[in-house]
A and B are shown apart, each in its own frame.
Chain A
């Protein structure tokens, strides 16, 4: 049997040749993301904005403006009414033929009582005006809770970025930690920018996806860093740029194979998976691309800029030598 080979043996692509161009593009993207975030902001879901979200399935596609008017007439503030997702692919079963609509309302006045009343009035309007309409989910989040969730989400992202970077610093060298931190910052900012630009709903699930992104994007980074470290020990005199290129090329088929299987798994979830986690899978999908890119063009070039040399990995104390013992042995044999 002939096996699939995604990358021919002994590829030698000069990836780092475009590092300055890539750096410029990335900087632009980051700046643009921050600008979009500042101007448009994120389309916070009820988790973070507070308020009420009602998910309804209609038998017939309702006229959105009419629905909006009817709900607005209840006097609970301006409601946002939108289709659950754009360009869906539906497959058979209970969900098919249904038209999912998301109704979002600001936090009603009068706290708990007000929220109850608003929800039941909307329910009544829906069942009267649209026979067969089915309320699938109601979420009410008070301003207090939503503020806490925003804070917790931001802290979690921050701690995750710093935490894993520190770990990389311990396992490799400080330059690697800095490179990882920059590439994570890059990934998270651009993903946030994407969410601000598309105004896709940003909820708790997306924060979960971002945290996963941090773990996943780093996965790539670590594989290449690991190879760079190995090559640094092997080829003492090789120029750093050539060495990084070599490492990226050596791990290229792994990069492609892993990301391809990731795309297959996530793509299925994105296209036919449940609506409720649409933004979540979207964020993860983006992360597959951005994570790979940032590893090559952000995480790795920083090693050049921070002047990593093979001396960085000379064993300095017996303890580290002992833990690295078996590795050195194998390299002795392979040293060129």
Chain B
């Protein structure tokens, strides 16, 4: 028991000093810590339930990805076949597969080769993205699971970036945007009280298209929703209740040709509008199409809804356009941000939403801190009354333990949540348990007539297996908590698990060091415990 090597003393002391040091910045006001280098002043983050703010869980509608891929494939296929002089017919995309007929039987082989190239875009490796089926002169291409998943994964990555850009455009917020599972994204915005505008901002797909209006559609066709070949019928709310309009399928301009979008005011009537600037390709296409179609209307389509259908009065060659459509300044600004940040490759819906007001968060912190302080002080007093000197050692260990947990959380940049505060309380309890086991054992060994040193020695030794096993089971429970839990509960699991490690260190190693140093110095004949 007396041997506690010098290097170990240094190591333990160093750990404690570093730990206690890193616990301090979390209590300092921000202006102080900002003046210090970041690695010297890490702070514990407050979870949303303590800091106040909003959290949204978004889920992607992945069927849109499959449909989009199918449409893209149809476009590319038609172009390729046309480019190689292969005539195809009966192109259909129903049932999630692209099927077409090769007119000339002699061209089937060539068509198959082209389709196969499209099905496997990368020459080496990589999963095949499409399955090919050839029946006579009909070729059917269906999406493989792997290809689709890959596409969804990419779409989600893009969606995450788009959301990031959109929220950052709002300014000073410090959002956390992380993917969860394969089709979900969690957005946390501390300090945001009304998630309404946030939801409108990130919920909008912002797929902007300019298409020519198909004037050949009869009212009957509009009514029934059956569009003429090459056209589609879209809702047009501006034209009154249930308004519809037919537009050509081929877009003149799509969202990816937009270089910039800003909120502005219409010079004529002062209403809020969004002005958009096209990139090079967009400008050229827009100029050529508008000069060929002077006098005809085109439709401005946002997320498959026509927001206006102005006439082309003259060719538009400046590379910019203006969208009006009953905006307020705020909605115009939101649309501009959405367009600027690019369109979402998937539609997102909010499936879970939590908002906590700053007052509630502050109350929680205050009450949590007060109750934790009272509880801990009671425990500290109790330990001292029960075990005297050994109780004081245990108390010191508990305080060091709390500091170490805070320090590790700060370094890991983990978030402290309300259940996390409860986790602290519980950890204090668990740390006490280790010392109680040890001290009771020492009492027992002494009662059996062992001398001071042997009693302490045996106390620590015999207690070890129980402490170890008890902590392992807590780790098991903690891992499951972390794995299955979400949000605040995870915060609790983090505190619990860090606490298990640090409490074993402080309650066993650190108190042992105290005790052995004391025994060495005083060599007591009797133990009061």
Contact = CB atoms under 8 A, between A and B. Distances in A.
Interface residues of B, number: 81
A111 B378 CA distance: 49
B466 A226 contact: yes
Contact of A273 (B360, B368, B496): B368
Interface string B404-446: 0000000000000011001001101110110011001001100
B323 to A, nearest CB: 23
Contact of A138 (B354, B383, B388, B476): B354
B349 to A, nearest CB: 6
B470 A3 contact: no
Shortest 3 CB-CB distances between A and B: which pairs?
A: A268-B375, A215-B477, A156-B484
A142 interface: yes
B363 A95 contact: yes
Given A6-B386, A269-B372, A276-B49, A142 B352 contact: yes
B480 A163 contact: yes
A141 B429 CA distance: 34
B382 A208 contact: no
Interface in B348-364: 349-357, 359-360, 362-364
Contacts of A94: 359, 362-363, 366
15 contacts: A1-B528, A120-B196, A137-B357, A138-B355, A140-B350, A140-B352, A155-B484, A168-B469, A204-B489, A208-B492, A254-B440, A257-B386, A261-B436, A265-B379, A268-B375
A153 B382 contact: no
Interface string B442-476: 01100110000000001001100110011011101
B7 interface: no
Given A4-B385, A272-B371, A57 B359 contact: yes
Contacts of A222: 466, 469-470, 473
Given A57-B359, A138-B353, A156 B480 contact: yes
A281 to B, nearest CB: 7
Interface residues of A, number: 86
A3 B388 contact: yes
In terms of DSSP, what is the predominant structure of the interface of chain A? helix
B453 to A, nearest CB: 14
B360 A276 contact: yes
B374 interface: yes
Contact of B474 (A139, A219, A251, A253): A219
A230 B57 CA distance: 51
Contacts of A144: 59, 351
A29 interface: no
A289 interface: no
Given A152-B484, A264-B382, A208 B359 contact: no
Interface string B45-56: 000010000000
A160 interface: yes
Interface string A265-287: 11111011111110011001000
A330 interface: yes
Interface in A123-164: 134-142, 144-145, 149, 152-153, 155-156, 159-160, 163-164
Contacts of A227: 466
Nearest to A214: B477
Given A208-B481, A215-B474, A284-B422, A261 B447 contact: no
Given A135-B357, A269-B375, A116 B196 contact: yes
Contacts of B466: 222-223, 226-227
Nearest to A227: B466
A153 B489 CA distance: 11
Given A6-B386, A268-B371, A277-B418, A93 B429 contact: no
Given A112-B350, A145-B352, A269 B422 contact: yes
Contacts of A10: 447
B199 interface: yes
Interface of A: 1, 3-6, 9-10, 55, 57, 91, 93-95, 111-112, 115-116, 120, 134-142, 144-145, 149, 152-153, 155-156, 159-160, 163-164, 167-168, 171, 204-205, 207-208, 211-212, 214-216, 218-219, 222-223, 226-227, 230, 250-251, 253-254, 257-258, 260-262, 264-269, 271-277, 280-281, 284, 326-327, 330, 334
A134 B352 contact: no
A261 B355 contact: no
Nearest to B438: A254
A251 B440 contact: yes
Contacts of A251: 440
Contacts of B462: 230, 330
B462 to A, nearest CB: 7
Nearest to A95: B363
Contacts of B325: none
Given A267-B375, A281-B422, A145 B360 contact: no
B28 interface: no
A268 B473 contact: no
B433 to A, nearest CB: 5
Contact of B360 (A111, A136, A208, A214): A136
B429 A163 contact: no
B418 A274 contact: yes
Contacts of B419: 205, 208, 277, 280
B485 interface: yes
B220 to A, nearest CB: 31
B422 A277 contact: yes
B425 A265 contact: yes
